[in-house]
Amino acid sequence: MRRTRAFLAVPAVAALSLGVLAPVSAHEGHSGSTGDTSEGEAGDYSITLGSLNDSGAGGSAVITLADNGDLTVNIEATGLVPNQPHAQHIHGATDLQQDFTCPTGDADADGDGIVSTAEGLPSYGDIFISLTTEGDSSPDSGLAVDRMPVADADGNVAYNRTFSSGELPDGTAAAVRNLHVVQHGIDVNGNGEYDAEAGPSELDPALPQEATAPASCGIIEGSNIGDIPDGGVDTGAGAIASHSDNGTAVLAVSGAVLLGLAGVAGAGLLRRRRAVAR
């Protein structure tokens, strides 16, 4: 007998714990510094998605910044949990003095073998844009899994959406190289569904940990290159991608981090649908 479960979360997050990140080091090229000055340049920023939590997820993405400030996000991801929704976000900040990385295994503070969303926050930062398929894209929609992409039967997600400059957070264009992608949703026990065997999510005990744990991540090339780990959490594709015909450095952003919330009062509700096939 095979059971399949899908979960839906209320598309609202009461509060995001902004400012929980301590500055790690300053980017060169930021205002008042020397070096790369291409922040905010229109163009394509390529991304390599790497696996987190041994999820096997990976893929590629391109973030395109238009001259008018519109932002197009294209993601082609593989290795995700089939037939399940995968929350995904752009994480980061407009504070260009902050550097972000993908978490290593050392981020697993409670030693349960899973780097949870909250444990990953100090590395990848708060939700900046919720990569929903329609409607609101603010951090308030970080739990709006009913508007997140669902992986097909082979675990693939193809996502494309253009966000107008008016619906983006202030400072997005100038900080584009300080942003990255995280996708969420893992299957620890390999049964093809999100269940409670790995425990409840720290974001909302009504949600299973599997549904909210990050599955993939990637950061902008050169943003904090010295901090990229050789080991720790599996980063799948490994090295951050570069894509540079004219010296434009690239986003190495990745997909798999459901909710970037710590100390969050998030409201979510789990609705499970079971289909029995004999």
Segment 182-208, tens digit of pLDDT: 999 999 999 999 999 899 988 888 889
Question: Counting Cβ atoms within 10 Å, is residue 111 exposed (0-12), middle (13-18) or buried (19+)?
Answer: exposed
- CB 11 within 8 Å of CB 141: yes
pLDDT of 46 higher than 80 = yes
pLDDT band at 87 (very low <50, low <70, confident <90, very high): very high
CA distance 200 to 23: 30
CATH of the domain at 129: 2.60.40.200
- pLDDT, residue 39, reads 59
Rounded to the nearest 5°, which phi and psi values hold at 226?
-70, -15
Question: Counting Cβ atoms within 10 Å, is residue 150 exposed (0-12), middle (13-18) or buried (19+)?
Answer: middle
- The pLDDT of 9-15, averaged and rounded, is 33
**How many structural domains are present in the chain?**
1
pLDDT of 33 higher than 60 = no
pTM of the complete model: 0.69
- pLDDT, residue 203, reads 83
Q: Strands (DSSP E) along the chain, which ranges?
A: 12-13, 43-51, 58-65, 71-78, 88-92, 127-130, 157-163, 179-184, 214-218, 266-267
Mean pLDDT of the chain: 73
Long-range contacts of range 132-141, CB-CB < 8 Å, 24 or more positions apart?
Answer: 132/161, 133/159, 133/161, 135/11, 136/11, 137/163, 137/167, 138/169, 139/13, 139/16, 139/89, 139/260, 140/11, 140/12, 140/13, 141/11, 141/12, 141/13
CA distance 18 to 125: 9
CA distance 219 to 239: 10
- The pLDDT of 4-16, averaged and rounded, is 35
CA of residue 60 relative to chain centroid, distance: 13
CA distance 79 to 234: 13
Residue 12 lies in domain: 1-278
Is the dihedral angle over the CA atoms 226, 23, 40, 258 positive or is it negative?
positive
